[in-house]
Amino acid sequence: MSSKEFFCYSQNSNRRLGVTGRHAHWRTPVPIVQLYLVTDCGGSDRGRYDIAVNRCFHPHHVSTGFFETQSMNTLHAGFVTAAHVLSTIDHFGSLRKGELIGVLDNAAPRHGSENGRKLRGNARHLAGEEIYALLLDNGVWVIGPNTGFNFYFLSPRIKQSFLVTDTSGMSTPFRSMEVMIPALAEAMGLRTFPNIQVEPKPLVLEEPEPGLYVADWDNHGNLYIVAIGQDNVPFPSLGKHRVFRIGDNIARLRHVNGIFAGETGEPTLTTGSLKLNHKPVHYLVVVGSSARALFGNPNVGARVIIEE
């Protein structure tokens, strides 16, 4: 038998069995890392992220999940991170010993001078927004640019915040791959990079405009809506109706208990499995049809009005 070393996991242990030739011995496993990439950089960039992850986290084994969001839409990226990613992580309980999870939360106005503030807004930073690494209350690390709504939904769950600085002097339009991925590995204590500095710094968030907004939708045409800066949203009581308006489109929705609780073709308001900071997310649903089409196919960020 070859002396090449192979590893396998014991079914009854979180250690792995190293086998060299005919001799077996126990070894502590290299940590297995889970990374979830929420980003407005999709297409072939996904392959570049995969390369960066495997290079920056070597020799650790990494499994990844990818969530592509709308370009430059921080509301979409922030909601997907806090609702889709974190609520699913939380659903399966506390992190187990040796379980390491990191999240990229990335959307931002493009930086540099190539398009100018005329296209991207006067608040755009030419050098790029500050990058932060955040340790959350469940032990998950999140990294991304501090702009718009990227971190807004995470704010109640942040335990520690760290400013990330790249000292290389390079100018790049792809900081999420070239800076944030290695910085995440460093923040998680798995690698060090000479050009990456991670230093404690309080996180200061932008004040959003209060309202009820479309935050996402799914392939079934269900709209996910989220309240920003509002504690008391006038949702109808269970079984009651209210008129909802998005743009020029209106519909009378009945509040029901479950996404399949309405009659076929009936517009409804409900909640599902998705949660935001442990609270249910509200959906607009039309059983057998599309709520998004009913409301004129609104984009993320469209304002939702509940008529009095």
More confident: 259 or 124:
259
Overall size of the chain counted in residues: 308
Write down the H helix ranges in the chain: 45-56, 74-79, 86-91, 116-120, 175, 181-187, 291-294
Please tell me the pTM assigned to this model.
Answer: 0.84
Instruction: State the DSSP code for 177.
Output: I
- Say what the pLDDT of residue 308 is: 76
Cross-strand pairs, 17: 8, 26
What's the CA gap between 290 and 219, in Å, rounded? 9
Residue 144 in tokens: 């991304």
SS3 call for 157: helix
What's the CA gap between 40 and 145, in Å, rounded? 12
Give residue 275's pLDDT band: very low, low, confident or very high (50, 70, 90). very high
Q: What is the pLDDT of residues 153-206, one digit of tens each?
A: 999 999 999 999 988 877 766 788 788 999 999 999 999 999 999 999 999 998
The 3-state secondary structure of 44-108 reads CHHHHHHHHHHHHCCCCEEEEEEEECCCCCHHHHHHHHHHHHHHHHHHCCCCCCCEEEEEEEECC
What's the CA gap between 39 and 140, in Å, rounded? 17
Residue with tokens 């196919």: 297
- Say what the pLDDT of residue 2 is: 36
Predicted confidence (pLDDT) at residue 60 exceeds the cutoff of 80:
yes
Percent of the chain with pLDDT over 90: 68
Q: What is the pLDDT of residues 192-231, one digit of tens each?
A: 999 999 999 999 998 889 999 999 999 999 999 999 998 8
Q: What class does CATH assign to 32-200?
A: alpha beta
What's the CA gap between 299 and 217, in Å, rounded? 9
Dmax (CA) of the chain? 78
Residue 142 in tokens: 């999140």
253 Rama sector, left if φ>0, alpha if ψ -120 to 50, beta otherwise: beta
Spell out the domain ranges in the chain: 32-200, 211-306
What's the CA gap between 49 and 177, in Å, rounded? 6
Architecture in CATH for domain 211-306: Beta Barrel (2.40)
What's the CA gap between 286 and 79, in Å, rounded? 22
